[in-house]
Amino acid sequence: MASCCPVPSVKDMVAEARRVFQESFGGQDPEVAVCAPGRVNLIGEHTDYNEGFVLPMALPLVTVMVGSRTRDQNVSVVTANEAVEEPRRVDFELPKDNQPLSPGQPNWANYVKGVVQHYRAQPLPGFRAVVASSVPLGGGLSSSASLEVAVYTFLQQLCPDDGDKVAKAVACQKAEHTHAGVPCGIMDQFVSVLGKEGHALLIDCRSLEATLVPLADPSLVILITNSNVRHSLTGSEYPSRRRQCEEAAAILGKGSLREATLQDLEDAKGRLDSVTFRRARHVIEEIWRTTQAAEALKQGAYREFGRLMVESHNSLRDHYEVSCKELDELVSAAMGVEGVYGSRMTGGGFGGCTVTLLEAEAVDRAIKHIKEHYSGSPTFYITKPSEGARVLSL
């Protein structure tokens, strides 16, 4: 498995963040360390903001945050992530009297500011901190949600809230809406907070309840392949998909597409343009596929699970139109390997990663085959369902 990206140990990441903290803040030691994971979604794509089901798992790739409170109202945050834009240090004062904390430059700091603003136990003390991440940026593995949830978890150590985990995920989702301008659903923040080692989470995005689905069979591997492409369309495409779904639900007379059936859609065909029809069709079918897939996983019916993954990918490609040539190539390459159960794009789309479910003994073969059949330069991660956000020892 020589060609897989190593997953850095959380301990090493904390040691590095601590070193950067000492270097940035006059040799002081941080008092608190936390981390929050990225995620991979196994199935249930673009269903969360339609109040549907999703089936993600938390990754061993995490954002770490170390730091200490200050005696004043000043915040200083340094990122150890060299892939983000400069400057890598931001300083700001906590706003007084519930004034909003405006987003600005650099972009990475907006996730910190957003969470500070939406934190559920105000007023906060000032703090100094360093963030470091092993979640690839812009790879569709929720680097932003992992940063938001890490910041929230860090703030809980300085100024405890009531500990409500779902409310924590919702506050982080709000931060993304207001400070990153992405009208995302709840999936990424939810699984980053509530992920469980050895399990995927079947999340009902209407009731915000989750069921644990065991996923720790040693004969099974979850392989993530990063296409290493990101198309610039992403910015406007995500909000436009969300709008199309809301329009479709309104035309069908439903509060959300979760409440619609394929028959409702068929009956309204004359009142929907063909694009909106296809968007709604993807969502309605994907919600159903996700519940079927969770059932298949519980039964150990990996072939059936894999078949649903491929159906999901094809629907995202043809009906929802959020895939791209590179992701399609990766999926079809993976599906050409004996021992692969299924493969699909994961996350928002237009680049980023695919997720492939396969027999452990097929991993080397699959990586070799994908490399030979992909026109770009892929990177690979072999992952395991991991624990959600947590406090670490220093």
Which residues are known catalytic residues?
Answer: 188
Q: Does 353 bind ligand GAF (CB under 6 A)?
A: no
Residues 350 and 324 sit within 8 Å (Cβ to Cβ) = yes
188 interacts with ligand GAF by CB under 6 A: yes
Specify burial of residue 146 (Cβ count, 10 A radius: 0-12, 13-18, 19+): buried
Site string for ligand GAF, 140-179 (x = CB under 6 A): ----------------------------------------
Q: Which of 150, 184, 223, 294 binds ligand GAF (CB under 6 A)?
A: 184
**Which amino acid, one-letter code, is at 189?**
Q
**Smallest distance, ligand GAF to C-beta of residue 351, A:** 12
CB of 142 to ligand GAF, least distance (A): 6
Query: Which residue, 49 or 119, is less far from ligand GAF as judged by CB?
Result: 49
- For ligand GAF, the binding residues in 210-269 under the rule CB under 6 A are none
**Count of residues in contact with ligand GAF, rule CB under 6 A:** 11
Q: Which two tokens stand for residue 230?
A: 């990101």
The whole-angstrom separation of Cα 329 and Cα 322 is: 14
Cβ-based nearer residue to ligand GAF, 123 or 239: 239
User: Of the ranges 44-52, 158-166, 209-217, 288-296, which one interacts with ligand GAF (CB under 6 A)?
Assistant: 44-52
Q: Does 203 bind ligand GAF (CB under 6 A)?
A: no
The Cα angle at residue 56 between residues 326 and 265, in degrees rounded to 5 = 80
What is the length of the chain?
394
d(CA 155, CA 152): 5
Q: Which span (46-54, 105-113, 154-162, 335-343) binds ligand GAF, by CB under 6 A? A: 46-54
Stretch that binds ligand GAF, among 8-16, 180-188, 190-198, 302-310 (CB under 6 A): 180-188
51 lines the binding site for ligand GAF (CB under 6 A): no
Cβ-based nearer residue to ligand GAF, 88 or 344: 344
Whole-angstrom distance, CA of residue 199 vs CA of residue 221: 13
Toward ligand GAF, which CB reaches closer, 41 or 153?
A: 41
Binding interface with ligand GAF (CB under 6 A): 41, 45-46, 48-49, 184-185, 187-188, 347-348
